[in-house]
Structure 1
Amino acid sequence: MAEIPTLVVRKPCFDLPTGCPQCLSAYIYLNFAKIPFQLNFHLNDPHSDKIPYFEIGDDFVAYDNENEGVIQCLGKNGGVVDLDSEVCSLPEWIAIKAVITTWLHDALVYELWVGNKGSPAYSIYYSDLPWPIRRVLSSKKVRSVKVKHGITGDNAVAKKEEIYERANSAYDALSKLLDEKNYLFGNRPSSLDAIFLAHGLVVLQALPESSTLRIKFLEHDNLVGYVRKCKTEIIEAGPQIHTDASSSGFRIPSTQKGHKFKSAPKREKTDEEKRFKRKGRYFVAGQLVAVAVFLTLMMSFDFAEVELENVDGGDE
């Protein structure tokens, strides 16, 4: 019997199998592809950019920070299953992909970390970490989001409106594209469906009712219906776990076919995996070191935080 692959994700929250948008899109993609898999949760390093990752024993591992992400690794780069082969040549494909992966991605990241003072993000990424580490990591992320968008105390309101206007334009375009169809590009799902549905589920489930992004999303009835249908048919049904992988169209990538993403020789990959998993043994020690560093720097850090919070006050 073939070994069932594993999708490793951040923990469940907000009544979702995982609260992380990237993890959730990989989860939905695998369900669309009818790939048999089991779900595991990685709690030691919730901020790691390797998560999510998909592994088949010791022979194949696809990390999210390699080859443009897990979905891309599973698709044309990894040769596991490609849901986009019949639609990626359509004229509107590239434009819609850009809209989803930039405007909507940026809007959700802004809303998670800045628009709601990081409250939903704490639950998704940091709630299991000690508060000093959580505070340092989240503050660093907030600053990086503001730097990416060029947000300052003087332009915070204008930048906020720009982000939401782009998101609303994206929702308008996607609503017209979906219309009454089952999926964005006809009667078969693609990776863009998985990415958008993960976005929509987090918007509806994780963001508060007062969220500007959530309010704008709720104005598009067919998009809301599509996301809720996904929650009923995929999320509430749980992951696809079967004992017979042959009926799913899933295939383990062959190292003889020259895929762009493939494992190193088995012994080397096993050592790499052992090193990654062994990090958990040092997690407590790492926390203590981080707390010590935080307490050492706290006085100077607090002054910077006060200034940052004053800038945040301009976003209201």
Structure 2
Amino acid sequence: MAHLSYFVKQRPNAEFISPTGKVPLLKVRRTLIPEFSGIVDFVAKKGVKLCAHLSDSQIAEMRAHMSVMDVLLRNVEMYVMWKHNDTYTQLTRYRYGSVYKWPLNWILPAMKRREILTKLQDSGWGDKSTEEVLEQYEKALRALSSQLGSKSYLFGNQPTEADALLFGHLFTIITMSLPCMDLKNAILNYTNLQDFVTRVETEYFKI
């Protein structure tokens, strides 16, 4: 979206070399910049801001939407991937452990699951039922769909950092085959969100 030159490297140990233990991870020469917000701040300091055309009030609103996505959508996704038993046993455990040899391919997913479940508990999500989690997800999607409306992007005809973040969340769920289809089905209830994903993929990621 920002038309910056980059290339992608797949690294099984990305989370372990990340300063915060989280991905995505950007490497610029010897500098490591972790997480979406860190990368956005880094390129902004270089003078690249997708939101440069927005007013101060719109930027504040954009940041509020990004906060919802970064906290609520992330917690929902972690809940489904790591706490939902069918998803963990049929998908997450194997995907996370696939790059390691036995016995690490069993030990590390179990350790990661304990770590995630502790984080969910600390953030008040550990005791929620699946139905409660899906209800929160539906509310977030409804708000994002309302903000998008009939526009091409969340704040008009030009993409912002919020659009990049939203695309990442929605595209991942839509294109992933999950035992729990509730998240994908919730997204598919909103035609404008589906169209948004298709638009961004076609414009920025199709070769």
TM over 0.5: yes
Offset at residue 223 of structure 1 (A): 0.3
Aligned to 2:51: 84
Aligned to 1:10: none
Cα distance in 2 for partners of 1:230, 1:72 equals 22
1:40 aligns with 2:9: yes
Where in structure 1 are there 5+ consecutive unaligned residues? 1-31, 238-316
Aligned to 2:183: 213
For each residue in 1:86-143, what CA deviation from the matched residue of structure 2 results, as whole angstroms up to 9, or x when unmatched? 4373252232122111111111122222231164445654321124223222222222
| Matched-pair contact (CA < 8 Å) for 1:47–1:125 | no
Offset at residue 48 of structure 1 (A): 2.2
Q: Which moved more, 1:228-237 or 1:161-170?
A: 228-237
Offset at residue 174 of structure 1 (A): 0.6
Q: State the TM-score, normalizing by the size of structure 2.
A: 0.80
1:53 aligns with 2:30: no
Identity %: 22
- State the aligned residue count: 196
Secondary structure of 2:150's match? coil
1:117 aligns with 2:84: no
Q: Is the radius of gyration larger for structure 1 or structure 2?
A: 1
| Matched-pair contact (CA < 8 Å) for 2:26–2:32 | yes
For each residue in 1:219-259, what CA deviation from the matched residue of structure 2 results, as whole angstroms up to 9, or x when unmatched? 1111011112222332332xxxxxxxxxxxxxxxxxxxxxx
More helix as a share of residues = 2
Instruction: Spell out structure 1 runs of 4+ moving beyond 3 A.
Output: 55-58, 85-88, 118-126
| Matched-pair contact (CA < 8 Å) for 1:183–1:189 | yes
Cα distance in 2 for partners of 1:190, 1:217 equals 21
Cα distance in 2 for partners of 1:80, 1:55 equals 18
Cα distance in 2 for partners of 1:125, 1:70 equals 24
Residue identity matched to 2:25: Y
Cα distance in 2 for partners of 1:57, 1:94 equals 29
Where in structure 2 are there 5+ consecutive unaligned residues? none
Q: State the TM-score, normalizing by the size of structure 1.
A: 0.55
Aligned to 1:222: 192
Secondary structure of 1:36's match? coil
Aligned to 1:306: none
Q: 1:164 to 1:63 in 2, by over 3 A?
A: same
| Matched-pair contact (CA < 8 Å) for 1:209–1:215 | no
Structure having greater relative contact order (Cα 8 Å, sep ≥ 6): 1
The one of 95, 99, 104 equivalent to 2:68 is 99
| Matched-pair contact (CA < 8 Å) for 2:72–2:140 | yes
Q: Which moved more, 1:134-143 or 1:179-188?
A: 134-143
Q: 1:164 to 1:144 in 2, by over 3 A?
A: farther
Cα distance in 2 for partners of 1:188, 1:179 equals 14
The one of 167, 173, 180 equivalent to 2:143 is 173
